[in-house]
A and B are shown apart, each in its own frame.
Chain A
Amino acid sequence: MDFTTPSYYGIFLPVILLFAFNLRRRSLKSETVSLLIFSYIFFWYSSGWYVLLLLVSTLTDWVVVQKMLTSGLSDLRRKKWLWVSIVVNLGFLFIFKYLDMLIDWFNFFSLQMEGPDLPLQHLFLPVGISFYTFQSMSYSIDVYRTQEKTFDTFIQFSCYVSFFPQLVAGPIVRAKHFHSELTKERNFTVLNLKIGLAFIVFGLVKKLVVADNLGLHVDEIFSSAKAVENTIAVMYGSLCFGIQIYCDFSAYTDIAIGSAILFGIKLPENFNHPYLSKSPQEFWRRWHITLSTWLRDYVYISFGGNRKGIRRMYLALFATMALGGIWHGASFNFLLWGIVHGLILISHRLISGTKRNIQFRDRFTKIHLVVSWAATQYLVFLTWLIFRVQDTSVLFTSLKSFLLFGDYGIMATYYALPDIKFLTFLILIAFVLSHLIGSKYGCLRTKLSELKLVPYSVIIGFMLTAIFILKPAEISTFIYFQF
Chain B
Amino acid sequence: MEKWSEFIVSVCIICLIFTSSSYILTDTIGKEETLTSTRYGFVYEAIDHIDNDDKLSVVGIGSSMMEQAFDGNCMANNTSNDIAFYNLGMAASRSYTDMMMIPRLASSTVDVVMIEVGVNLLFQMDFEKDQQRENPDHYVEMRLRIGTMMQEEQDKGDWIDIVLPEHRKWLDLNAIQRAEDLQDYTRVGIENHLRSSVSNVYDIGLTPNKIPSPDSDEYDDYLQTPRSPTAPSKIDSMTKEELDQYNESLESGSSYRPLANGTANHEALFYEVETLIAAGKQVVIVTLPHYKEVYKHLDDGQWDGFNETLQDLGQYDVSFLNYTFDTSWQYYHFGDRNHLDSDGRKEFCKRVAPEIEQLLVS
A residues contacting B by CB (< 8 A) are 189-191, 193-194, 419-423, 426, 452-454, 456-458, 460-462, 464-465, 468-473
Contact = CB atoms under 8 A, between A and B. Distances in A.
When A and B form their complex, which 5 residue pairs have the shortest distance between CB atoms, in order from nearest?
A: A461-B17, A457-B13, A422-B194, A465-B21, A457-B10
A345 B337 CA distance: 68
**For B2, B17, B183, B188, which residue has the most chain A Cβ atoms within 10 angstroms?**
B17
Contact of A473 (B13, B184, B198): B184
Interface in B149-200: 183-184, 186-188, 190-191, 194-195, 198
B18 interface: yes
B26 interface: yes
Contacts of A468: 18, 22, 183
Contact of B188 (A419, A453, A460): A419
B133 interface: no
B3 interface: yes
B359 interface: no
A469 B10 contact: no
A469 B185 CA distance: 9
A65 B15 CA distance: 49
20 contacts: A190-B2, A190-B4, A191-B1, A193-B7, A419-B188, A421-B195, A452-B1, A453-B13, A454-B13, A457-B9, A457-B13, A458-B17, A460-B14, A461-B17, A461-B18, A464-B14, A464-B17, A469-B25, A469-B26, A471-B183
B7 A426 contact: no
B197 to A, nearest CB: 8
A473 B145 CA distance: 14
B191 A453 contact: no
Contact of B17 (A191, A452, A465, A471): A465
Given A453-B1, A464-B14, A426 B21 contact: no
B10 A194 contact: yes
A190 B183 contact: no
Contact of B1 (A194, A422, A423, A469): A194
A426 B18 contact: no
A208 to B, nearest CB: 12
A457 B8 CA distance: 11
Contacts, number: 81
A333 B75 CA distance: 67
B35 to A, nearest CB: 18
B95 to A, nearest CB: 28
Q: Select the residue from B6, B9, B187 with max chain A CB neighbours within 10 A.
A: B187
A190 to B, nearest CB: 5
A419 B33 CA distance: 14
Q: Which of A420, A422, A454 has the most CB of B within 10 A?
A: A422
B229 to A, nearest CB: 26
A247 B82 CA distance: 62
Contacts of A453: 1, 6, 9-10, 13
A194 to B, nearest CB: 5
Interface residues of B, number: 29
Contacts of A473: 184
Given A420-B187, A422-B194, A458 B1 contact: no
Interface string B16-57: 111001100110000000000000000000000000000000
Contact of B194 (A190, A191, A423, A470): A423
Contacts of B7: 190, 193-194
Contacts of B198: 422
A457 B184 CA distance: 25
Given A191-B1, A194-B7, A457 B17 contact: yes
B1 A462 contact: no
Given A422-B191, A423-B190, A461-B15, 15 more contacts: A190-B4, A191-B2, A194-B10, A420-B188, A422-B195, A452-B1, A456-B1, A457-B10, A461-B13, A461-B16, A462-B18, A465-B18, A468-B183, A469-B183, A469-B190
B2 to A, nearest CB: 6
A194 B191 CA distance: 33
B191 A458 contact: no
Nearest to A194: B1
Given A191-B2, A422-B195, A462 B17 contact: yes
A470 B190 CA distance: 9
Tell which of B10, B26, B187 has the most Cβ of chain A within 10 Å: B10
B188 A465 contact: no
Contacts of B1: 190-191, 194, 452-453, 456
A66 B14 CA distance: 50
B18 A190 contact: no
Interface string B276-290: 000000000000000
A453 B4 CA distance: 12
